[in-house]
Amino acid sequence: MTRKVSNFSDLIQRVTASCLLHPLADTRYDSSCEKDDKFLYESEPNKDADDDEEDEEDGEEDEEDEIDDYDEGKMVSLKALGEKKVKQMESLLEEVFEAVSTMKRAYVSLQGAHCPWDPEKMRVADVAVVAELRKLGVLREKFRRRQGVDDKGRRRKVRRRPTASLKEVVAPYEAVVEELKREVKAKDLEVHSLKEKLDNVVTLSSNGGGGNGKKVGRSQSRRKLGISQIQAIAAAPSPELFETAMLQVREASKSFTSLLLSLMHNAHWDITAAVRSIESATATATATKDNYNPSAITIAGSIVSAHHAKYALESYISRKFFQGFDHETFYMDGSLSSLLNPDQFRRDCFTQYHDMKSMDPTELLGILPSCHFGKFCSQKYLAIVHPKMEESLFGNLEQHRQVSTGSHPRSQFYNEFLGVAKAVWLLHLLAFSLNPAPSQFEASRGAEFHPQYMESVVRFSGGRVPAGQIVGFPVSPGFKLGNGSVVKARVYLIARA
């Protein structure tokens, strides 16, 4: 029995061997011839080989058909997988867009809660913004997980940071919380100090004598101090209330100075030249006030170091704001109410102080832009912010134009300015509510340092001012109150040499 053909090359070898052994030219048909019988017998395997070759070709065609069917099925499955992925991505994008839109609406509500100030609305809007931010973080992680799956459904080995998104979302809020904690701590210290002063005032007012009776009266007054007594004292002007208002003026002035200085840096100002100009103006103003030659106290070059430029800028702002402070209307008109009817004028000033203390200056000026406070703001803004300064900082004179026409801009810069203006205006109302009114004083450039009346804005090592220090320039004025206490003037000190 012939050997079965295993492959196509084996078939070729067998056919070739048969042709060489039995050439077709010598073959003749004879039924009795053994040779012919042998030939027929030998040629029979060749016939089987041909049949096997045909079977092989048919098998190869079937195999090619199977491969084509497999490839076509694979393409269909890949196409279906691709369509599924596209649908998943479209669904994910729709969720992202919806979350962004919702967050945008929540953020607009958060901004709207600032003006007018609505703490409850702000809290709700803040929660909504945080919730949408977290939802976006979840969607991002969802997208990353889908990207981590290959075309065959196998998960790639991708290094993930599952808590990164949450940290990124929470980090800004943690910073804000820390800042609020610091502010609360400062306010607590201020409240504690005011409570101690209030206790002392109540003790002194409830005690007529001294000695041991004074100590007993003090302890008893502290135990008996009630809410009605606190409200009664807070409802009347007092030197302690004036000191608190002066602290608020300083804080607002520092905030506005920092903003103005940052804008100068962004506008690429020469801060040293600006400080030198402020020092020169301070020296000239001091010389004019005290009637002596300013060259006698002028120091070559700038006396302020680069990181102390804020004090020179704050001095400039404070001098402009407190100009005319001794007059009942900052010399905006010729009113003499404080002289004609002093008692009524004091009551009116304290009533205005109480009414305006809790008001947003932006809202007030939006309703009454031409009131006395509005005129005060316009006058001081035009005195502090020169047109060239505004054009350099903002690239236009839009705010200057609005203020000149009696309007009040709704910009961050002008809002910071209104914070200082309101604090100074409230201090002015309190000053004219007290009887006697506080007397204002200012340290002169080149004067000796007196710790009883002056306070250095620069902190020295050890907490004590070294000997031989004189006033480089005044930063903010001081006040002597009717009860004998002193609100110290803030000064920038330099060495005498």
Average pLDDT of every residue of the chain: 76
Sign of CA dihedral 460, 462, 463, 465: negative
Of 247, 268, 309, 258, nearest in space to 413 by CA: 258
Q: What's the whole-number mean pLDDT along residues 186-204?
A: 74
Share of the chain above pLDDT 70, in %: 66
Question: Distance (Å, rounded) from C-alpha 230 to C-alpha 307?
Answer: 43
- The CA-to-CA distance between both ends of the chain, in Å, stands at 127
Tally of helices (H runs) and strands (E runs) in the chain? 16, 6
The number of residues making up the chain comes to 497
Torsion (CA) 468, 469, 472, 478 in degrees, nearest 10: -130
Question: Distance (Å, rounded) from C-alpha 470 to C-alpha 497?
Answer: 10
User: What pLDDT, in 10s, does the model give residues 237-268?
Assistant: 999 999 999 999 999 999 999 999 999 999 99
Please determine, for residue 219, whether its predicted confidence score (pLDDT) is greater than 80: no
Question: Distance (Å, rounded) from C-alpha 492 to C-alpha 246?
Answer: 18
Least confident of 165-179, 223-237, 408-422: 223-237
Tokens of 494: 């330099």
Scan for tokens 């027929």, then name that residue. Answer: 40
Please determine, for residue 208, whether its predicted confidence score (pLDDT) is greater than 50: no
Query: For residues 147 and 93, which has the higher predicted lDDT (pLDDT)?
Result: 93
Question: Distance (Å, rounded) from C-alpha 473 to C-alpha 283?
Answer: 8
User: What pLDDT, in 10s, does the model give residues 103-148?
Assistant: 888 888 888 887 777 778 888 888 888 888 888 888 888 787 776 6
Of 195, 300, 317, nearest in space to 254 by CA: 317
Query: What DSSP assignment string belongs to 119-164?
Result: HHHHHHHHHHHHHHHHHHHHHHHHHHHHHTB-TTSPBP-----TTH
Question: Distance (Å, rounded) from C-alpha 440 to C-alpha 448?
Answer: 18
Query: For residues 320 and 43, which has the higher predicted lDDT (pLDDT)?
Result: 320
Report field, pTM of the whole predicted structure over 0.85: no
User: What pLDDT, in 10s, does the model give residues 274-302?
Assistant: 888 776 766 666 555 554 443 333 333 45
User: What pLDDT, in 10s, does the model give residues 325-337?
Assistant: 999 999 998 888 8
Most confident range (mean pLDDT) of 53-62, 150-159, 196-205, 209-218 is 196-205
Write b or e for each residue in 106-130: b if 16 or more Cβ atoms lie within 10 A of its Cβ, otherwise e. beebbeebeeeeeeeebeebbebbe
Of 394, 395, 425, nearest in space to 411 by CA: 394
How many other CB atoms are found less than 10 A from the CB of residue 245? 20
Contact residues for 331 (Cβ-Cβ < 8 A; gap 6+): 324
Q: What's the whole-number mean pLDDT along residues 336-350?
A: 90
Query: What DSSP assignment string belongs to 166-207?
Result: HHHHHHHHHHHHHHHHHHHHHHHHHHHHHHHHHHHHHHHHH-
Under DSSP, is residue 475 helix (H, G, I), strand (E, B) or coil?
strand
Helix (H) or strand (E) holding 492: strand 489-495
Give the CB-side neighbour count of residue 86, counting CA atoms within 13 A.
6
The CA distances from residue 467 to 213, 259, 320, 410, in Å, are 43, 34, 31, 48
Query: For residues 314 and 65, which has the higher predicted lDDT (pLDDT)?
Result: 314
Treating both helix axes as pointing N-terminal to C-terminal, what angle do 119-147 and 34-112 enclose, rounded to 10 degrees? 170
Question: Distance (Å, rounded) from C-alpha 410 to C-alpha 387?
Answer: 18
Q: Report pLDDT for 303.
A: 65
Least confident of 46-60, 157-171, 205-219, 324-338: 205-219
Question: Distance (Å, rounded) from C-alpha 282 to C-alpha 318?
Answer: 11
486-487 vs 478-480, strand pairing mode: antiparallel
- In DSSP terms, 478 is beta-bridged to 441
Residue 494 contacts residue 303 (beta carbons within 8 Å): yes
Question: Residue 321 is which amino acid?
Answer: F
Q: What's the whole-number mean pLDDT along residues 92-106?
A: 83
Q: List strands edge to edge, sheet with 439-441.
A: 439-441, 478-480, 486-487
Give 3-state DSSP helix, strand, coil % of the chain, rounded to 5: 65, 5, 25
